[in-house]
Structure 1
Amino acid sequence: MTNFKKLSILFLIILLVGLLWWIIILLQTFPKKYNFSELKNSKGTTAIVVLTGGKMRIEKGLSLLKKGFGEKLFISGVFEPSDIETKYGLKESQDYLLQCCISFGQKATNTIENAIEVEKWLEGSNEVDKLILVTSYYHLPRSMIIFEKKLPDLLIFPVKAENKIDLVDEFIFHFRLIISEYFKVLYTIITIK
C-alpha cells in the first residue's frame, strides 16, 4: 500500500470519527450543556437575538420575549420589519413590543455578519450582560463559536428554535444539514479571528 493510500485512509478515518463526535455533540451533549431557565430570576439585562434563515426562529424569539426571558429582542439577518406584525401574529395589544423592545438588523447574510451586526447593536449599551441566542439546532454550535469569539464579555445561552426535532421523518434532509454544518464548523474553527 502506498503512502498516499495510507494517508487517505487515515484522513477518512479521522473525518468519520470527527463526524461521529459532531453528531453526539449536536444531538446529546450540546442541548444538555446549556440551561437558560435560571435566566428569568437572574440579575442584569438579557437580550434575545434571533438569527434568521430557518423555520420557527422568529416565533421562538417572540415567545421568549413575551414570557419575560429577555428585555430586548434583536432579529438579525435579511428580513423586512414590516412583515413581523402580520406574519408572526403580534396583535394590536402587543404592538408595544415593536415600539419598545424589538430591533432589526437587515444587512447580515451569514453567521459572522450576524455576530458583527449584534455587536454593533450592543455598542454603547453596557446594560446587556446576557444573550439568549436563538437559531436552528444544527446551527447552534457554530453560532456559539462565532458569538463567543466576537462577544467575549457576554454570557451566551443558545436556544434551539425547534421544540421537537423528528430526525427519522425527514432523515435525508437532516443528515445533509448535519454533514454540511459539520464542515462549516471545521472551517469556522480554523478561520475564526
Structure 2
Amino acid sequence: MIRRLIALLILLWGLGFAVFALTLPRPIGDRQTDAIVVLTGGAGRLDRGIDLLARHQAQRLFVSGTDRTVRKKELAVRTGRPVALFDCCVDLGKESVDTRSNATETAKWLEAHHYRSVRLITTDWHMPRAHSDLNRALKGYDVTVVPDAIRSQPGFMTLFTEYNKYVLRLVAAPFGY
C-alpha cells in the first residue's frame, strides 16, 4: 500500500513536471492595465516593462527587488529612455530579496495606489510561482493580475529547480509559509 502511494506521488510529480515544462506562460499582446510590475533578475524584463509604459499601456511601473543603490537615472541611461519617464512614472521597490517578498512588496504598492489591474512581468519559467505568490499576497484585495512572461530557453536544471520550488510553495502556502 505504501509503495503504491509513493509510486502514485512520483507519477503525479513527473506528470506535473512535464505539464509545467511544456506549458510555460507566454507574452501577451497589448493590453491596458492600471500598472505594470517587473520582477528583477532576468534578461528583458525591465526593457519590456519600460517599453509598455512608454507606449501608455499602464499609468505606472513598479520594479520590485531592485538593489538599494540603484537610482532611476541609472536605469534611464541603461534602457535609453528619458529620465523624465522614470521620474514621473516609475517606482523602485528595494525591500524584497526573493519571489515571496517580491509579492508582498508588490501587493503593498498596488494597495497604496488603489490599482485594480496589473501586468506582471517575469521570465516564463518563473511566472507560475511569481503569479501564485502575488495572488496569495493580494488575498482580500480586488485586483486582476495579468501574467506577461518573457520567453527564454531554460535548461533542464532551471526547469527542475523552479518546478520543485513551485510545488513546495503550493504545499507550504496553506500552512502560512
**Corresponding pairs, count:** 169
- The TM-score with structure 2 as length reference comes to 0.84
- The TM-score with structure 1 as length reference comes to 0.78
Tell me the residue number matched to 1:145: 132
- The one-letter code matched in structure 1 to 2:19 is W
CA distance in structure 1 between the partners assigned to 2:128 and 2:94 by the alignment = 23
Deviations 1:70-102 (A, max 9, x none): 110000003312430222212xxx221111100
CA distance in structure 2 between the partners assigned to 1:119 and 1:8 by the alignment = 38
The answer to whether 1:121 aligns with 2:109 is yes
The answer to whether 1:155 aligns with 2:153 is no
- The one-letter code matched in structure 2 to 1:143 is A
- Map 1:41-190 onto structure 2 (within 5 A): 46-79=34-67, 80-81=70-71, 82-90=73-81, 94-126=82-114, 128-152=115-139, 153-162=142-151, 165=152, 167=153, 173-190=154-171
CA distance in structure 2 between the partners assigned to 1:159 and 1:19 by the alignment = 21
Change over 3 Å in CA distance of 1:57–1:5 after alignment to 2: same
Q: Which runs of 5+ in 2 are unaligned?
A: none
RMSD, aligned α-carbons: 2.1
1:36, 1:157 within 8 Å by CA — same for their partners in 2?
A: no
- The one-letter code matched in structure 2 to 1:182 is Y
2:120, 2:146 within 8 Å by CA — same for their partners in 1?
A: yes
CA distance in structure 1 between the partners assigned to 2:112 and 2:149 by the alignment = 28
CA distance in structure 2 between the partners assigned to 1:12 and 1:190 by the alignment = 15
Change over 3 Å in CA distance of 1:53–1:35 after alignment to 2: closer
- Cα displacement (A) at 1:179: 1.0
- Cα displacement (A) at 1:20: 1.4
1:57, 1:135 within 8 Å by CA — same for their partners in 2?
A: yes
- The one-letter code matched in structure 1 to 2:89 is C
- The structure having more radius of gyration, on CA atoms, is 1
- The one-letter code matched in structure 1 to 2:64 is S
- The one-letter code matched in structure 2 to 1:161 is I
SS of structure 1 residue aligned to 2:113: coil
1:74, 1:103 within 8 Å by CA — same for their partners in 2?
A: yes
